[in-house]
Amino acid sequence: MRVLFVPAAAPSHYYPMAPLAWAFRLAGHDVVVAGQPPVTDPVVRSGMTAVAVGGGYDMLAGLTEATETVRRETGRLLSGSATWASLPPEVQRRYSEMRGAPHVRTAEDMADDLVAFTRDWRPDLVVSDPLTYAAALAADVAGIPLVHHLWGPQPPSLAKFPGFGAPPERWPQDLLKLFARFGAQPRAEHGLCTVDPCPPSLQPAPVRAQVRTAYRPYNGSGQVPGWLLRRAGRPRVCVSWMTTNTAAAGQGDRHPVGTLVGALAALDAEVVALVRPADRERIGPVPDGVRLVTDLPLHAVLAGCDAAVNHGGAGTMLTAACLGVPQVIVPQEAGLVFNAECLAATGAGVALPSSETDGERIAATVAPLLHDPARRLAAGRLAEENTAQPSPFEVLATLQELM
């Protein structure tokens, strides 16, 4: 078989797909991953063949602008369902349109290249992120089966996405025009099934035509240093915090990790903070017992940790959950609040309000996790639940049967 994977233009949406791509490859099938330029380097680093499609539009920048526009106009962060419900209907409608538009612009950017490659390479199966409308378009044009692949807990809004539940009459007009240009047929459901790498306890709602699989933690490649293989004789805490959250929280030039790691170091813990190279100077000096790292994959660090503090991104949360690490999540936007609430419901972590960015408050929440057997047991149960799910090789066999 030839199998084409089409992730969204973000490494965090490709990484959950990588284990299934490896399984197809190891089973002897040809695998290619097509995506916008931001995802091609992570694909190559994972050992897969990448094909760049599009590249003239930045989806993540478009999504960030939508959130920032609402923050500027309303003075509020969209930090959960309560905040959303409090917005006037016209603001809700405008924000939904602004958040949906980048996905359509991305499809327009990818369509020509992706359709041409799909017609030329002729894959037998397309595996796609539900957010990537161009994959459904290309698969339909070429008459190829399409399978959707989730990246974490399914947010309620996903069922309103074109090709993943929304009827064509509710699709954006520009997307309908794009499908018409290629002679593709808009349908409410474009996928045969949905591969779900989320442990059952973390998936709050039914997933259409669900094919379960175990989440295999992978967050990129890197060389593990010797110090990470040795325990320091005290608890180790991992901090992972997105740059975009800093802007959303109105921190300006101050990066929250700087104050956070100082407060955590006071717990007599070894603190390892994963930061982006661009943020290293903004964080400034850190106390003894704190390591700032920029070149290690998250799964390599978390494997030896006793607790984790993070922003609630699905890949970050699932990596910690599937390694049995209790978490404190401080989300800064509505989608991440959803992830945090899903985790908190399992007992394997604590979700703090988005306003709780004070380092001492977060450290006070982390402290019990280092010694609370109930939290550790809950985190262990979640890891065991994940391990019991079908392997990527079992999913491969299931997909072949469906085809």
Structural contact between residues 40 and 50, judged by C-beta atoms closer than 8 angstroms: yes
Q: How far apart are the first and last CA of the chain?
A: 11
Structural contact between residues 138 and 114, judged by C-beta atoms closer than 8 angstroms: yes
Computed over every residue of the chain, the mean pLDDT equals: 89
The whole-number average pLDDT for the span 292-297 is: 89
Distance CA 125, CA 143 (A): 10
Residue spans of alpha helices (H) in 122-150 = 133-142
- Number of alpha carbons in the 13 Å side-chain half-sphere of residue 47: 14
- Number of alpha carbons in the 13 Å side-chain half-sphere of residue 171: 23
Structural contact between residues 333 and 327, judged by C-beta atoms closer than 8 angstroms: no
What 3-state class would DSSP assign to 155? coil
List pLDDT tens digits, range 355-388.
666 888 899 999 999 988 998 999 999 999 999 9
List pLDDT tens digits, range 230-286.
887 889 999 997 644 444 444 455 677 888 888 898 898 999 999 888 787 788 888
Q: How many CB atoms lie within 10 A of CB 398?
A: 17
- β-strand partners of 272: 238, 291
Q: Which two tokens stand for residue 325?
A: 């690490």
Which helix (H) or strand (E) element contains residue 350? strand 349-351
The whole-number average pLDDT for the span 159-175 is: 95
List pLDDT tens digits, range 40-92.
999 999 999 999 999 999 998 888 887 777 677 766 655 555 555 666 777 66
Distance CA 158, CA 13 (A): 14
Distance CA 329, CA 317 (A): 8
What distance separates the 2 farthest-apart alpha carbons in the chain?
Answer: 64
pLDDT computed for residue 140 by the predictor: 97
DSSP symbol at 278: G
Structural contact between residues 395 and 211, judged by C-beta atoms closer than 8 angstroms: yes
Q: Is the pLDDT of residue 144 over 60?
A: yes
- Amino acid identity of residue 36, one-letter, is Q
Share of the chain above pLDDT 90, in %: 65
